[in-house]
Amino acid sequence: MKLSTSGLILLFLTPAVLAEYRAYQYLVKTNAAFAVATNARAQYLTSTLNPAMYQSYHGGTFITVELLRTWICPGYTGLKTPICDHPYDKETPLP
C-alpha cells in the first residue's frame, strides 16, 4: 500500500483520539433465602458494567440491582485503573 503525500499530511493533522467510558453506581441487594438468616445487607457499588450486564454477571435472579447514578469518565480503563469519582463528589460546598 502506497501512501500519497496528501494522505500522509492528513494522518499527522488528525487530532488525537481521547478515550472515555461510562461509570455506574448501584445499590445491590440479595434475593437469596439465606440472606434473611445471615442478615445480608445491601451494598453500594461502582462499576463500568451497565445494569443488565452487572446483574447477569454477578448473580442473575439472586440479586436486585438499582441504578443510582451514572457519569462519563475520561481516559483508559485498562491496567486496573480505578474508576473515576462522580463529578459532584469533587465540588466544594458553597459557604
CA 45, CA 54: separation in Å to the nearest integer?
A: 11
Helices and strands (H, E) in the chain, number of each type:
4, 3
Helix (H, G, I), strand (E, B) or coil at 75: coil
For residue 43, give the C-alpha cell: 451494598
- pLDDT at site 75: 87
- pLDDT at site 19: 83
For residue 71, give the C-alpha cell: 457519569
- pLDDT at site 51: 92
The rounded mean pLDDT for the chain is: 81
Q: What is the DSSP string of 18-46?
A: --EEEEEEEEEEE--THHHHHT---EEEE
How would residue 9 be classed by pLDDT, with cut points 50, 70 and 90?
Answer: low
User: Above 80 in pLDDT, residue 48?
Assistant: yes
pTM: 0.70
Enumerate the β-bridge partners of residue 16.
none
**Of 66, 63, 57, whose CA–CA distance to 32 is shortest?**
63
Find the mean pLDDT for residues 10-33: 79
- The residue with greater pLDDT, 92 or 1, is 92
Please report, for the chain, the start and end positions of each structural domain, with discontinuous segments joined by +. Answer: 18-73
